[in-house]
Amino acid sequence: MNIKEEIIEFCINNGIDTIGFSECRIFHELNPYFEKRKKLGLENEFEENSIDKRINPFLYMPEGKTIITIAFPYLYSLDFNKKTHFSKYTLGMDYHAVTTGYMEKICKFIQGMGGKTMPFVDSNSLPERYIASNSGVGFIGKNNTLITEKYGSYVFLGEIITDLIILPDKPIDQKCGNCEMCLEACPTNSIVKGQVGINNDANICLSYITQKKHIEDSWFEKLNGRIFGCDTCQRACPYNREIQLSTISEFIPYDYMKNVDVQALMNMDNDLFKDKYKIASCGWRGKNILKRNAIINALLIEKINILAVEKDTSPYIRDYYYRLLKFFNL
């Protein structure tokens, strides 16, 4: 068994079956893509400013030879019928913690074979979907998600840079063809026809809007039940219909994430946040973003009285309370 087969076997024995390998190199070909996005003002505040940090893996490991991509499926149900809801990816244990645990095990295994390792999950700015498609893990759809054959786009991605030279897998080209279902489904038209990614406006993606600290009143109605994240373009995708569900037990949804108690959420204190929401994948943006979105949906979807929010200790929340009253003529 060669190094590659041994790593794959180790991953499979640990419940991970979607893994690919690509050469560690500078992605010069992406330079014009990032330049154009910058010029058109399509980047959002979560994106790395330095193009070099986005295309040069040697900044993270100068002796890197191979990048290993690992896909972690997270979807436990295709039922999307809840009125007020969290995005599917947030429902279980915080994916940063879960995937880091798996990646550390894989890194130890590679180190045992004499390789250096540098794992990443959302912790650098490399183009992980591009690397994943180069590694044969899936293709990048017009909606900019990485679409795997087995689990569709409902996967988290992790990468390991290693100094081991491992035979790369074949890249997978886009398979969208003439389909434009995600473009048609997107409520804000953030996916625009054109070269993948370049015309997609991250600043009006609803997933981003739900996580943005300051939003204009015009976004209130667009939330339409969303508390954190947006699955709309993924739900529209035909490649997400006949898929296998996750078997990673840490991603089994918490009941309170599946069945949202909007009343509790909009009155949430620090203890409730720490106890329930900080440990899920939506926790990293803090308590008040969730409270704000709960208040919006309390009025918009649930038709719940939000009077108690008037006495909230946070000026940020009180500000949204008064703006909402005005916006909805209450």
Nearest to ligand SF4 of 51, 179 (CB atom): 179
Q: Rule CB under 6 A: say whether 142 interacts with ligand SF4.
A: yes
Pairing of strands 155-162, 117-120: antiparallel
Which residue spans within the chain are E strands per DSSP? 19-23, 66-73, 85-86, 117-120, 139-140, 146-147, 155-162, 226-228
In 3-state terms, what secondary structure has residue 119? strand
Q: Are 64 and 163 in contact (CB under 8 A)?
A: yes
Q: Are 140 and 174 in contact (CB under 8 A)?
A: yes
Residue 43 identity (one-letter amino acid): E
Q: Rule CB under 6 A: say whether 194 interacts with ligand SF4.
A: no
Q: Rule CB under 6 A: say whether 160 interacts with ligand SF4.
A: no
> Cα(223)–Cα(50) distance, rounded to whole angstroms?
31
Q: Rule CB under 6 A: say whether 238 interacts with ligand SF4.
A: yes
Q: How many chain residues touch ligand SF4 (CB under 6 A)?
A: 12
Contact window for ligand SF4 (CB under 6 A) among 6-14, 46-54, 208-216, 230-238? 230-238
Which of these, 9, 105, 117, lies nearest to 68 by C-alpha position?
117
Which of these, 180, 284, 279, 269, lies nearest to 228 by C-alpha position?
284
> How far does CA 10 lie from the centroid of its chain?
26
Q: Rule CB under 6 A: say whether 302 interacts with ligand SF4.
A: no
Contact window for ligand SF4 (CB under 6 A) among 161-169, 175-183, 210-218, 265-273? 175-183
Which of these, 98, 203, 100, lies nearest to 159 by C-alpha position?
100
Nearest to ligand SF4 of 186, 317 (CB atom): 186
Q: Are 17 and 72 in contact (CB under 8 A)?
A: no
Residue of 17, 122, 163, 169 marked catalytic = 122
Contact window for ligand SF4 (CB under 6 A) among 10-18, 136-144, 194-202, 273-281? 136-144
Q: Rule CB under 6 A: say whether 237 interacts with ligand SF4.
A: yes
Nearest to ligand SF4 of 174, 249 (CB atom): 174
Q: Rule CB under 6 A: say whether 32 interacts with ligand SF4.
A: no
Q: Rule CB under 6 A: say whether 139 interacts with ligand SF4.
A: no
Kindly identify the residues of this chain, within the stretch 40-79, that bind ligand SF4 according to CB under 6 A.
none
Q: What is the 3-state secondary structure (H, E, C) of 11-22?
A: HHHCCCCCEEEE
Alpha-carbon Rg for the chain, nearest whole angstrom, is 21
Q: Rule CB under 6 A: say whether 180 interacts with ligand SF4.
A: yes
Q: Rule CB under 6 A: say whether 268 interacts with ligand SF4.
A: no
- Residue 79 falls in the annotated catalytic set: no
Q: Rule CB under 6 A: say whether 143 interacts with ligand SF4.
A: yes
Q: Residue from 239, 273, 277, 320 that binds ligand SF4 (CB under 6 A)?
A: 239
Nearest to ligand SF4 of 132, 296 (CB atom): 132
What DSSP designation does 246 have? Answer: P
Nearest to ligand SF4 of 119, 197 (CB atom): 197
Residues that bind ligand SF4 (CB under 6 A): 141-143, 176, 179-182, 236-239
Catalytic residues: 122
